[in-house]
Amino acid sequence: MAQVKFFSGEQIPLEMHKVRIVQKLSLPPVEERLEAITAAGNNTFLLQNKDVFMDMLTDSGVNAMSDQQMAAMMVADDSYAGSATYTRLESKLQDIFGMQFFLPTHQGRACENILAQVFVTPGSIVPMNYHFTTTKAHITVNGGTVEEIIADKGLEVTSVDPFKGDMDIDKLEALIAKNGADKIAFVRMEAGTNLIGGQPFSLQNLCDIRRVCDQHGVLLVMDASLLADNLYFNKTREASCKDLSIREITRKLADCCDIIYFSARKLGCARGGGICIRNEELYRRMRGLVPLYEGFLTYGGMSVREMEAITVGLEETMDEDMISQGPQFIAYMVDELQKRGIPVITPAGGLGCHVDVMRFLDHVPQSQYPAGALASALYIISGVRGMERGTLSEQREPDGSEVFSNMELVRLAMPRRVFTLSQVKYAIDRIDWLYQNRKLVEGLVFTEEPEILRFFYGRLAPVSDWQQKLVAKFRADFGDSL
Ligand code: F0G
DSSP assignment string, 77-136: ---SSS-HHHHHHHHHHHHHH--SEEEEESSHHHHHHHHHHHH--TT-EEEESS--HHHH
Length of the chain: 482
Q: How far apart are CA 259 and CA 315, in angstroms?
A: 20
Q: Are 342 and 435 in contact (CB under 8 A)?
A: yes
Q: What is the pLDDT of residue 477?
A: 98
Q: Is the pLDDT of residue 158 over 70?
A: yes
| Model confidence pTM above 0.75 | yes
Q: Of all atoms in ligand 1, which is nearest to the CA of residue 266?
A: 13
Q: State the closest ligand 1 atom to the C-alpha of 134, by its place in the atom list counted from 1.
A: 10
Q: Spell out which residues line ligand 1, taking CB within 6 angstroms.
A: 58, 60, 107-109, 132, 134, 190, 194, 223, 225-226, 263, 265, 273
pLDDT digits (tens, 9 = 90+) for 290-317: 999 999 999 999 999 999 999 999 999 9
Ligand 1 pocket test target in 56, 138, 265, 293 with most atoms within 8 Å of CB = 265
Mean pLDDT on 54-73:
97
CA distance 152 to 332: 26
Task: Tell whether the model's pLDDT for residue 59 goes beyond 80.
Answer: yes
Confidence at residue 395, expressed as pLDDT on a 0 to 100 scale: 86
Q: How confident is the model at residue 2 (pLDDT cuts 50, 70, 90)?
A: low
pLDDT in tens, 113-145: 999 999 999 999 999 999 999 999 999 999 999
What does the pLDDT look like over 159-181, one tens digit per residue? 999 999 999 999 999 999 999 99
CA of 3 to the centre of ligand 1 (A): 31
Is CATH 3.90.1150.10 the classification given to domain 30-59+321-478?
A: yes
449-467 residue pLDDT tens: 999 889 999 999 999 999 9
Q: At what angle do helices 246-255 and 203-216 cross, to 10 degrees?
A: 20
Q: Is the pLDDT of residue 336 over 80?
A: yes
What is the Å distance from ligand 1's center to 434 Cα? 29
**How does pLDDT run across 238-297, given as a tens digit for each residue?**
999 999 999 999 999 999 999 999 999 999 999 999 999 999 999 999 999 999 999 999
Specify the residue with its C-alpha closest to ligand 1, atom 9: 108
Would you tell me which CATH number, out of the four given (3.40.640.10, 3.65.10.10, 3.40.50.720, 3.20.20.70), belongs to the domain 67-319? Answer: 3.40.640.10
Looking at this protein, which amino acid is placed at residue 277?
A: I
How many C-beta atoms lie closer than 10 Å to residue 345's C-beta? 24
Q: What pLDDT was estimated at residue 3?
A: 73
Distance CA 317, CA 382 (A): 32
Q: Mean pLDDT across the stretch 357-384?
A: 98
**Nearest-angstrom CA–CA distance, 39 and 22:** 28
Q: Calculate how far, in angstroms, residue 393's C-alpha sits from the geometric centre of ligand 1.
A: 13
CA of 370 from ligand 1 middle (Å) equals 23
User: Given CA atoms 209, 211, 216, 220 in this order, what sign does their dihedral have?
Assistant: positive
- What pLDDT band is residue 1 in, cutting at 50, 70 and 90? low
Mean pLDDT of the chain: 97
CA distance 212 to 234: 21
Ligand 1, atom nearest to 387 Cα: 19
Which one-letter DSSP state was computed for residue 354? E
Domain ranges of the chain: 30-59+321-478, 67-319
Q: What is the pLDDT of residues 385-443, one digit of tens each?
A: 999 999 999 989 989 999 999 889 999 999 999 999 999 999 999 999 999 999 999 99
The residues carrying an active-site annotation are 80, 132-133, 223, 266, 389, 455
